[in-house]
Chains A and B, each alone.
Chain A
Amino acid sequence: MPAPEPPANGYTRRDSVVLGFFALAAAAMSTGCATDKLALDEFVQKHFKDLSGDELKDRLAQMEKRYSEEYGKSVKVSATPPLPGVLFGYALDLSRCIGCRRCVYGCVEENNLSRDPQTHWITVLEMDKETGVDLRHADAYYDHETVPHPGKFYMPVACQHCENPPCVKVCPVQATWKEPDGIVVIDDDWGIGCRRCLAACPYGARRFNWGKPSIPPDELNPNTEYLGNRPRQRGVVEKCSFCLQRTRKGLYPKCVEVCPVGARKFGNLLDPDSEIRYIIENKRVFILKDELNTQPKFFYYYGL
C-alpha cells in the first residue's frame, strides 16, 4: 500500500513564522505575568548590533526612562562608540600591590555592581612569596587586620580583554564580542544565561547574576553605558568593561584612579609614547596563563 500523502497545507513562509512566533509570544506575555508594553518591547528586542541609529536612540531613551523611574533619579544611558586609533591596554605592578581591595570596591561603586547579592569584578588573590604566582595556593578570601600580610603578595585578576577571547568564541548567541578598541563587552539584553562563557574563561573574570542584583538608589552611578555599567538583570553574565563609560571619554578606569600605591596603569597600546607602552618595553612583564594563547591586553609586571 502507498505511504500516506504529505500534509496538504504546504510550506509556510519564514516571515509569517516569525510573525506568528512573536504574536504567540505577545499573547503569552499579555495573559501572563507582564502586561505592559515595555516588557513586550524588551522581549522582542533586537541584538545590539542589529539596531539602526534611530532604534538605538529609542532603546536608550526607553532605558533611561525605566532606570530613572526605578531609582527615583535621573539616569543617563549612552552608547559611546569606540575611539578610532585606540587599543586599550592595562598593566599592573605586582611589586607595588598591597592587597587593600580599594580597586574592588571602587569598581563596585563606579560600575553599579550588585550590593546584595554582592558582585565583584576584580578578584584579589593572596599568594606566598616563596612559591611565586601559583594559583593552586592562591587565596581569594584572605581576611587579615592589615595588609600586606608578612610573606604574602597580591595579584588582582579581572577580565584580561583578550585579543583571542575564548568567551566570545563559545557564546551560542553572540551576546558577547570584542569591540574595535579591544574591550570585550556583553549585551545584557541578549545573553541567555547559559554560562558557557564562564566555563570558557581561564581567568575567572565573568560573573553570573544568580539572584536579582540590587543597588541602593542613592548609591547608583547615574552616568551609564549600554554595554557597560547600566544596572543589570538577573540571569545574565557580566564582567569588567575597562570602565568604557570613562575610558572612551579619556578618563582612567576607576580602579586605576583609586589605587593608593599606583600599581595600576592604563593607556593606548597604539600610542608609542604612552605609559603602557613604556612599561611593556622596559619592565619585566608577564602574561597570566600565556600558554593558552588568549593574548590578554592585561600585563602584569614587576616595577621595583
Chain B
Amino acid sequence: MSFVRKAGNFVTGTARMAFLGGNRVYYAWLLLLAVCITQALFAYAHQFERGLISTNMRDSVSWGFYIGNFTFLVGVAAAAVLLVIPAYVYNWKPIKEVVLFGEMLAVAAIVMCLLFVLVDMGRPDRFWHLIPGIGHMHLPSSIMAWDSVVLNIYLVINLSVASYLVYCAYYRIQYDRRIVVPLVILSIPMAISIHTVTAFLYNGMASRPYWNSAILAPRFIFSAFCSGPALLLILFQILRKVSAFEIKDEAIHKIAELMAYAMGFNLFLFGAEIFKEYYSNTHHLVYYQYLFRGLHGTASPIALYAWTSIAFSIISFFLFLIPKTRRMPLTMNIGAVMIYLSVYIEKGIALIIPGFTPDTLGQVYQYVPSAIELRVAAGVFGVGFLLFTLMVKVSVSILFERGNQTVHA
C-alpha cells in the first residue's frame, strides 16, 4: 500500500474514531463546544466589523484579556516538558504513555495561543508580514518575532511526534526511535524557550517596571509546571473512568509530587519579588498596590482575583506537599483545580493588567474585559478543547481499545 493511500486511510479512520462510538456525555460535550465556538464567531465578526474598539482595551491598557490568556496558555503548552523529562531522560516507565497526552495538550494549547494573538491583532489580514521571506520579520531585535518563531517550531515538533506515534499505533508498527527520541529531546529546550521568550516579551521593557524583573522567566517556568499537569491529572482520572485508558495510581501521585515542588518554587519566587518591591518601597510599588488594593482611594477590580490566586496557591501547595492529601482523590482534585485557577488568574489577569495600570504617564484606566472579549475568548478555548478532545478520543481508541478497532484497512 502506498504512503498516500495509507495516510488517507489513517485520516478517514481517525476521523471516524473521533466522531463515532462515543457515549451521550461525549456528544453533549462536543455540542457544548460547538455552541461555544459558534457564539464566538458572531462576537468576532462584530469585533472584525467595528474594530478593537468593541473590546475594553484602550491606549492606557493596550493589552488585556486576550494576551493574558495567551500568556497562560504558553505555560500550559510548555508544561508538557515536565512529563517528558522524567519519562525520556530517566527512562521512567509509568509516565511514558502519558507523555503523548502532554504533547497533544501542548498542540491544543499552542493553537489557542496563536488564535488569541490573531484575535488581538488590529490587522489580522496582515499576519503574513510576520512570515520570513515574504514579510519583514524583525530579527534578531524583536522578541515578539522570536516568540512567533519558537511557538511555531514547538507546535510543529509536538504535532509531528504526536501524530507519528498515533500513526504507528494505528498501523501497529513499531515507531522509529531514531525519529522520535531526538524530537522529544529537542522539545524539552523548546518548551523552556517558548516560556522564556514569552517572559522576555514583557520583562525586556524598561517602560513597564512591573514586568522589568529578572526572575519573570523562572516564575513563568515554575507556574507553568503547576498548571499544565493540573489539567492532565484531572483528565487522566476522567479517562480512566470512562474509557479503557490505563494509568497507575503511582504515576498520578508522582505527577502530583512534582507539582508540589514546582508550586514551592513558584511561591518562593513570588515571595522574592514581593519582598524586593515592598521592602525597597520605591515608586514601582504602585503596580502592586493597584493589584492588591487599588489606587487613589478607588478599589481595583482585580484585587479580589489577586487575593484568590494567592490563597489558592498556598492551600494547594500544602495539599500536594502532604503525602496523605496528595494521594487522597478528593483533596488531590481540589488541589489540582485550585492550582489551575490560581495560575490562570496569576498569568491571565494579575500579570498583564497591573503592568499597564497606572500607565507610563501615571494615568489609571480601570480595565475589565468587555462582553465581546469574554465571548471570543470562550470560543478560542472551545476550539482548543475540541481539538484536544478529538485527539484524546482518537488516541484512546487506538492505544487502549484496539479490540474494538474495525477500521484497520
Contact = CB atoms under 8 A, between A and B. Distances in A.
Query: Do A and B interact with each other, yes or no?
Result: yes
B34 to A, nearest CB: 24
Interface stretch (B86-94, B123-131, B330-338): B123-131
A281 interface: no
Interface string A175-200: 10000000000000011111110111
Interface in B167-208: 167-168, 173-176, 179, 204-208
A173 B138 contact: yes
A204 B360 contact: yes
B129 A199 contact: no
B44 to A, nearest CB: 14
A236 B363 CA distance: 22
B360 A195 contact: no
A123 interface: yes
Interface residues of B, number: 61
A192 B122 CA distance: 6
B143 interface: yes
B361 A190 contact: no
A210 B58 contact: yes
B306 to A, nearest CB: 21
B20 interface: no
B279 interface: no
Interface-central residue, B122, B124, B141, B208, by most chain A CB under 10 Å: B122
A135 B142 CA distance: 28
B361 A136 contact: no
Is chain A's binding surface mostly helix, strand, loop or mixed? loop
Nearest to A18: B134
A292 interface: yes
A190 B129 CA distance: 8
Contact of A207 (B59, B141, B148): B59
Interface-central residue, A123, A135, A196, A210, by most chain B CB under 10 Å: A210
A140 B179 contact: no
Nearest to B57: A210
A208 B122 contact: yes
Given A193-B122, A194-B122, A235-B122, A201 B207 contact: yes
Contact of B52 (A134, A190, A210): A210
Interface of A: 1-8, 14, 18, 21, 25, 43, 47, 50, 117, 123, 125, 134-138, 140-141, 157, 166, 169-175, 190-196, 198-204, 206-212, 233-237, 292-293
19 contacts: A1-B174, A4-B3, A4-B6, A4-B7, A6-B3, A125-B362, A138-B362, A170-B142, A172-B137, A173-B129, A173-B138, A190-B136, A193-B124, A195-B63, A196-B142, A196-B144, A208-B52, A210-B53, A236-B122
Interface of B: 3-4, 6-7, 50-53, 55, 57-60, 62-63, 117, 120-130, 133-138, 141-145, 148, 167-168, 173-176, 179, 204-208, 283, 286, 355-356, 358-363
